[in-house]
Amino acid sequence: MQDYREFMEEVLVDEKTIEKRVAELGAQISRAYEGQELLIVCLLRGGITFAADLTRALTIPHTLDCMSLSSYGVGHYASSGNVRVNLDLMTNIEGLNVLLVEDIVDSGRTLAHVLQMLGTREPKSLKVCVLLDKKYRREVPVEVDFVGFDVPDKYVFGYGIDIDEHFRHLRFIASANMTKYKKSL
Ligand code: IMP
Ligand code: MG
């Protein structure tokens, strides 16, 4: 795998800015669910880094579960809309406050699918926290309750978000020049 510096366009969100925003979101979510139990549902794999930091910024009692979805069909570097469940929750969410934690909302198809699916299990509440929102790319309306940052319509990576499964470990979020990336493959 090549060095990310060969195709990185720019750092969109640096480490300090992420840290500060995650702390703010933790406080905001803690206030919103004060006095209530909360189940954090981390959407694998992109949500791992964000969920790990976010849960440690919460000051209310909560538990954690994970779920893995993938979209398949056309478009390798974009979500196609056909969503498959690879790994379901271990927790029975009936009557629970559920907060989905996801890396990016783009077309909205992934979240729309998982919200519809989990909604049928009758949780007490079902909300969404995303680290990054590509607002202008929305094809399906989804209500996002907590947002880290709005990002432009560019392919991004780092802080849990991958390109071909690499670069999730980076502490910042950057945009990629995908033409340069593909050329160097
Ligand atoms: P949606 O279903 O179109 O909203 O796409 C959401 C999913 O697509 C996210 O969970 C990511 O896995 C993936 N995705 C969307 N944009 C990017 C990106 O810029 N970099 C990496 N993954 C992305
Ligand atoms: Mg994802």
Per-residue pLDDT of 111-170, as tens digits, reads 999 999 999 999 999 999 999 999 999 999 999 999 999 999 999 999 999 999 999 999
From the candidates 106, 145, 150, 164, give the one annotated as an active-site residue: 106
- Taking CB atoms and a 6 Å cutoff, what residues make up the pocket around ligand 1? 46, 71, 79, 102-110, 155-157, 161
Is there a domain that residue 6 lies in? no
Could you tell me the residue range of the domain that residue 80 belongs to?
Answer: 16-152
Contact of 42 with 66, CB cutoff 8 Å: yes
CA distance 180 to 47: 26
Mean pLDDT of the chain: 94
Is there a domain that residue 119 lies in? yes
Contact of 103 with 132, CB cutoff 8 Å: yes
Q: Mind giving me the DSSP string for 86-128? A: EE--SS--TT-EEEEEEEEESSSHHHHHHHHHHHTT--SEEEE
Q: Which of 107, 139, 161, 167 to mutate to test the pocket of ligand 1 (most atoms within 8 A of CB)?
A: 161
CATH of the domain at 50: 3.40.50.2020
Is there a domain that residue 164 lies in? no
The token pair that represents 166 in the structure block? 């690499």
CA distance 124 to 172: 35
Q: Into how many domains does the chain fold?
A: 1
Is there a domain that residue 86 lies in? yes
Q: How far is the CA of 107 from the centre of ligand 2 (A)?
A: 12
Tell me, what's the pLDDT at 71?
80
